[in-house]
Chains A and B, each alone.
Chain A
Amino acid sequence: MIERLRARARSLNVTLWTLIVPPTVWAAHFLFSYLWAAIRCAKTGSFSTAPGVFWACTILALLVILASGWIARVQSRTPGDHPPHEEGTETDRLRFLAYATMLLAGLSFVGVLFTAAPVLFLSDCR
């Protein structure tokens, strides 16, 4: 199962576009959090005590970030020549982009957690 997933991950290609997936998910979650709180407060006038939609979206964002981080991790370990991977080759560029994506995924994961944390403590719309 894991091996199959890994093979699938290896077949995907990390590019500059996939590099921005984790921070984009983080930004989208950030925007969603504010909109969710603002719209809820405007429509119902009270802050939700069990915000199911919010946590579902947070978990979804975390899963997407985790997945893209994991794919990046697999690709950053593309076998081949010895380190340091600093040549202007396709493989080295792939490793670099994948490694950067993985680091960004880590940052975005923590960012989403930090964004979501206040909801645990807020209890009304003031």
Chain B
Amino acid sequence: MVMRQAIGMLRGRATVPLLLALAGCNQQQSALVPFGEEAAVLRHLTVVMVAGAVVIALALAALMAWAVRAPEGRLGLRGGERLILVAGGVLPTVLLLGLLAYSLPAMRPRAVAPADLRIAVTGEQFWWRVQYEPAGAAPVTSANEIRIPVGRTVLLHLEGRDVVHSFWIPGLAGKTDMIPGRRNVMAVRATRAGLFRGQCTEFCGLSHALMAFDVVAMPAAEFDRWLAAERQPAVAPAGAGKALFLANGCGGCHAIRGTGAAGAIGPDLSHLGGRTTIAAGMLRPTEANIAAFVRHPERFKPGVRMPAFPQMSEAEARAIARYLKGLK
């Protein structure tokens, strides 16, 4: 019995560091696995600060252990006062000032040029409106996925539309609130290509936790090609899907470039087939998932603004899904 308790306690103690270590397994959405310069600076600062805190905590523990064991009167009045002055006043001030001076340069904002790509991201319940605004060219609208060129400075213009959201791509940079009526600007630079993830980090309603997005960092030349293609009207596949999409009034809220659908209430669907997820980072973009979401979005996103279409047959939903999936 005692043995079992001892093993249980040991196991309990081992769990904490193991759980902490598990944080290192996440490659897509982790501030510990940076793919941008800002996040790398933040991770570095975190490591330095935590190491500093551990050293101070250990020194304090050692001092306490010594104080408990030392014979009474060991220091004397003057010695005690000096210890309090040095260990309680001077040392913390110097250490904190040092850490502050060390961390302050990280506050210096990244220099930006007028030619840098701007991406306006608007948080809405419960999805992300994304607009690419390259210098000297018309903007390109997309949604629920952000693509950025590696090695180039990108300006993110962040705003909320209905309530306060918060924009966080842990691997790229720090967290910034999206506040209605106020534009927060963040300058970032990705350092390596890959598929990453961001998440809303300010409670914004029923589906707050289901409001995420994929981030695709791509080599600059590839990004330019992608943006040029994204600008074009969608190439629609053959089939009854398009007619059904328009007949059901989907175009009242959603836009698909090159069709009559020009709604601006919901996410732009122009190149939905090229996206890595649907429903703001929640579902794999399969035809079955799209069809299920079209008929009953509330089953996947409680509180969603999009109405349900229960009257739509499975076959019709499938046809719309095939059409949307084919929009490349």
- Which residues on A are within 8 Å of B, measured CB to CB? 106, 110, 113-114, 117-118, 120-124, 126
Contact = CB atoms under 8 A, between A and B. Distances in A.
Contacts of B101: 117
Given A110-B93, A114-B96, A114-B97, A121 B107 contact: yes
Nearest to B106: A121
B186 interface: yes
B104 A117 contact: yes
B105 interface: yes
Contacts of B89: 106
A118 B185 CA distance: 19
B114 interface: no
B107 A118 contact: yes
Interface of B: 89, 93, 96-97, 100-101, 104-105, 107-109, 185-187
Contacts of A126: 109, 185-187
A69 to B, nearest CB: 13
19 contacts: A110-B93, A110-B97, A113-B97, A114-B96, A114-B97, A117-B100, A117-B101, A118-B104, A118-B107, A120-B104, A121-B104, A121-B107, A121-B108, A122-B107, A122-B108, A123-B109, A124-B109, A126-B185, A126-B186
A17 to B, nearest CB: 25
Given A106-B89, A126-B186, 16 more contacts: A114-B96, A114-B97, A114-B100, A117-B104, A118-B104, A118-B107, A120-B104, A121-B104, A122-B107, A122-B108, A122-B109, A123-B108, A123-B109, A124-B109, A126-B109, A126-B185
Nearest to A124: B109
Contacts of B187: 126
Q: Chain B interface secondary structure, helix, strand, loop or mixed? A: helix
A110 B88 CA distance: 14
A61 B3 CA distance: 63
B186 A121 contact: no
Contacts, number: 27
Given A106-B89, A126-B186, A121 B96 contact: no
Contacts of B93: 110
Nearest to A106: B89
A112 to B, nearest CB: 13
Contacts of A106: 89
A41 to B, nearest CB: 12
A106 B96 CA distance: 15
Nearest to B176: A126
A110 B100 CA distance: 12
A123 to B, nearest CB: 6
A121 B105 contact: yes
A106 B105 CA distance: 26
Nearest to B155: A126
A106 B104 CA distance: 22
Contacts of B96: 114
Nearest to A83: B77
Contacts of A124: 109
Q: Most B CB atoms within 10 A — which of A114, A122, A123, A126? A: A126
Contacts of B109: 122-124, 126
B92 to A, nearest CB: 9
B202 to A, nearest CB: 19
A3 B97 CA distance: 34
A98 B104 CA distance: 34
A98 to B, nearest CB: 16
A114 B107 CA distance: 14
A118 B23 CA distance: 32
A33 B187 CA distance: 24
Closest 9 CB pairs of A and B: A121-B104, A126-B109, A126-B185, A121-B108, A121-B107, A110-B93, A124-B109, A118-B107, A121-B105
A26 to B, nearest CB: 14
A125 to B, nearest CB: 9
A118 B187 CA distance: 19
Q: Most A CB atoms within 10 A — which of B97, B101, B109? A: B109
B96 to A, nearest CB: 7
A106 B88 CA distance: 12
A117 B103 CA distance: 11
A124 B109 CA distance: 7
